[in-house]
Structure 1
Amino acid sequence: MAPTHQPTNRPTHQPTPMHLLRTLLLVICLFGLAAAPALAQNYYAYVASESADEVALVRFDADTESATVEETVPVGYIAPETEGAHGMTVAPDGEHWFVSIAHGKPYGRVAKYETGTNAKVDTAHVGMFPATMEVSSVTGLLYVANFNLHGEPEPSTVSVVDPEAMTEVDRIETGIMPHGSRFAPDGRTHYSVSMMDGTLHEVDVLTGRVTRTLTTGEGTPKPTWVDPHPSRPLAYVAHNGADEVVVVDRDDWAVTQRLPTGEGTAPYNLEVSPDGTTLVVSYKGTGETGIWNLETGERAARLANSQSVTHGVVISPDSRYAFVSAEGRGDDPGAVDVFDLRSNERVASVEVGPQAGGIAFWKTDATTTSAR
């Protein structure tokens, strides 16, 4: 007799309501992640074009790696004359931007504009050929280096401007052709260089007096810019006439290192990244940008700009991108070039007015883009 097969009592796994709910939630989450737009970042900078008397607002889209001019703002008011829009800075709160106008009758001036609307607010008269500017986080005052290209070479000044009243409240005498107005992280100590003296000047903003002066090189180094390190007691000085950047120990008040940039490079402007790891230098003589690793003290890259004469440098607050202005020659337009400081390559360029010079970072904002 054939054996009969008895049914087994194996348990069957039936999905519970809780299991079904978890599965449904997982599917919804996965679908949402796949369909949700990715976040991207826009970066905005203002750049002055000296030969056009205008300021351009440049937007860089990090997702598409493209740069565009959002708006161009005329800043001159003497119609037949090129007045020379030169230096740029943005107030620490991001509400206003300032541009120095080099030529005037008889002095230069600084104009104040509202960010976003780019509407003019007011003007302050300062010294001859105002150039670099920055606002102190301690006094709230604007410090303007008066480069003074007019007449006999003689010591010039740093103008101190109340940005609310747009009135000059003081002038601090430094050296011949001051440039590179920048603050130490404390906001109390101001630094500038004198191109024709070969000197670095330190000012205590609470007393309004020069506290120390240092000769940074022999012969004719022609220092054109200074930027203090954001967290270490160091300052970096561009020697335009000596093809080098020197490192100054602010505690010992001495040059401790010299970084050769290469023959004919004529370093002009520079900036240390906010995280303190990178130094970006404009090589005005060769139309290039140098990127230096401050952890190793070695140059990480030497890259061509889109125009033949480089000028200003500013780095985004996240230390990711450097924005470099390039003047061009003759009838060539100016440009803003964007360098990725992770890959050390130029990723975008956009044309602006001729003789692009002073450049200042405004803000970043997040936007959405389709997931890739």
Structure 2
Amino acid sequence: MIFSKAAKILFLAATVFVIGNNIGQAQNYYLYVALESEDEVSLIRYDGETNQGTIKETIKVGVYPTENEGPHGLTVSPDGDYWFVSIAHGNPYGKLWKYNTETNELVGQTELGMFPASMEISEKTGLLYVVNFNLHGDMEPSTVSVVDPESMTLVADIETGIMPHGSRINSDGSYQYHVSMMTDELIQVNTSDLKISKRLHLAGDKDTHSSGMSSGMQTNEVHAEPICKPTWADPHPTENIVYVACNGSDTIVEVNTKEWKVTRRFQTGKAPYNLEVSHDGRLLVASYKGEGATGVWDLNSGKELARIQNSRRVSHGVAISPDNRYAFISMEGVGGEPGSVDVIDLEELNRATVVETGKQAGGIIMWKVED
């Protein structure tokens, strides 16, 4: 089964009566993970019945064998036929590479900006939107590159904030959301007219003093030094809400996208980096990069249900299965330590198993689920 965003919601509606009876355990879950220090991408299969994860294939990426080119962000086309990886450490610019999911063969590429990072394809426009994080460049506004994934042609570069990251698109494909790490902003891009439609400064005065869940206020003030340091944004699947990981202030911010204001703030573990909302909108899963842990939050109550220690000290990406049963967390490792992918059981709220990988497991994305 291949799941687009809309199909994930339909899948949930059709199967909600059996998910509670562990139907996910009889399924195989396939996902890709980028190994940034290895110049590789691994295809992982997790068997929910045997609780075993295996690496089905490892694909070499990059063209210079003596240099580390750094595969960073990943996404899969809505039809599941192709996967894309951003090659971050280009000289001077990075690239976007396109692969066939059945053969894992390279079928196209194009040049992007400096240090291209996270990305996603809009189901409304069919275009791919990737943020250029510009990690090694000057502290100046960067861009969102818009690419036609069919022809692998660069369509536009949209100027945005400083060090943009955490690129995700809402369920109907109309808006792309990303954060500007060094200006503490959540930014909304209209996917049709390829223009920024809204900006929200996230680090109001209450941000550094919040505890648990509290109200927030919109502010137009731009601090000289970032406070929130946002690293990720993810829209709710059915509501006009976006959740943002504030890596610098140990908080997750909830933003109402209609009213365009902060509505709640959650005090989290150290340095939340990546997050994803479950496809039923019930849970939020966040990687705490500063403490090698995963937080699972109930969005209705605003309470953290569990904080689960990971297999490595530095956690990175989050990918939740379409049936909302598992969260897959990529783990970077430290120094020469290999990376891993932790499988978190979202019903039992524990770490089900660990899949060992190459060094610096980072970008991670679901591909498909098979019975």
TM-score tier (shorter): 0.7 to 0.9
Q: Which portions of structure 1, spanning 4 or more consecutive aligned residues, are displaced by more than 2 angstroms?
A: none
CA distance in 2, matches of 1:363, 1:159: 26
Of the candidates 230, 242, 245, which is equivalent to residue 235 of structure 1?
242
Structure 2 unaligned blocks of 5 or more = 1-23, 205-225
- Name the counterpart of 1:18: none
Query: In the alignment, which residue of structure 2 is the partner of 1:303?
Result: 308
Change in 2 beyond 3 A, CA 1:170/1:294: same
How far is 1:334 from its partner? 0.7
2:175 equivalent in structure 1: 189
Distance 1:68 1:307 in 2: 18
Equivalent pairs, count: 327
- AA aligned to 1:207 is D
Q: 1:278 aligns with which of 263, 279, 283?
A: 283
Amino acid at match of 1:232: E
Instruction: State the match for 2:161 in structure 1.
Output: 175
Aligned twin of 1:32? none
Is 1:313 aligned to 2:299, yes or no? no
2:364: which partner in 1? 359
Whole-angstrom distance in 1 between the partners of 2:257 and 2:332: 32
Counterpart code for 1:202 = Q
Match status 1:224 vs 2:231: yes
Equivalent residue runs for 1:304-343 within 5 Å: 304-343=309-348
Segment of structure 1 superposing worse, 214-223 or 228-237: 214-223
Deviations, residues 191-242 of structure 1 (Å, cap 9, x unaligned): 0000001001001111111011000114521000000100111100000000
Offset from partner CA, 1:73-101 (integer Å, 9 cap, x none)? 00111111000110011111000000000
Alignment of 1:1-372 (within 5 A): 40-218=26-204, 219-262=226-269, 265-366=270-371
TM-score under structure 1 length normalisation: 0.87
User: Is the radius of gyration larger for structure 1 or structure 2?
Assistant: 1
CA contact (8 A) 2:118 2:130 kept: yes
Equivalents in 2 of 1:342, 1:306: separation in Å? Answer: 19
3-state secondary structure, aligned to 2:26: strand
Deviations 1:253-311 (A, max 9, x none): 0011110003xx10000000000000000000000000001121100000011111000
Task: Give the deviation of 1:66 after TM superposition.
Answer: 1.2
One-letter identity of the residue aligned with 1:326:
M
Amino acid of the structure 1 residue aligned with 2:123:
S
Q: Percent identity?
A: 57
Residue identity matched to 1:246: V
CA distance in 2 between partners of 1:179 and 1:151 (Å): 15
* Aligned-partner SS, 2:49: coil
- Structure 1 position 116, deviation (Å): 2.2
d(CA) in 2 for partners of 1:45, 1:191: 23
1 CA distance for matches of 2:166 and 2:140?
18
Q: Offset of 1:150 from its aligned partner? A: 2.3
Residue deviations 1:22-58 (CA, integer Å, cap 9, x gap) = xxxxxxxxxxxxxxxx982100000001000100001
Alpha-carbon displacement from aligned partner over 1:298-357 (angstroms, at most 9, x marks no partner): 000000111110000010111111011000001110111111111111101111111110
Q: TM-score, normalised by structure 2?
A: 0.87
Compute the displacement of 1:115 (Å).
0.5
Alpha carbons 2:114, 2:137 under 8 Å: kept: no
Q: Which secondary structure state, in structure 2, belongs to the residue aligned with residue 221 of structure 1? A: coil
Write the distance in 2 (CA, Å) between the matches of 1:61 and 1:104.
Answer: 36
Tell me the distance in 2 between the aligned counterparts of 1:318 and 1:338.
Answer: 14
Specify every segment of 5 or more residues in structure 1 that has no aligned partner in the other structure, as ranges.
1-37, 367-372
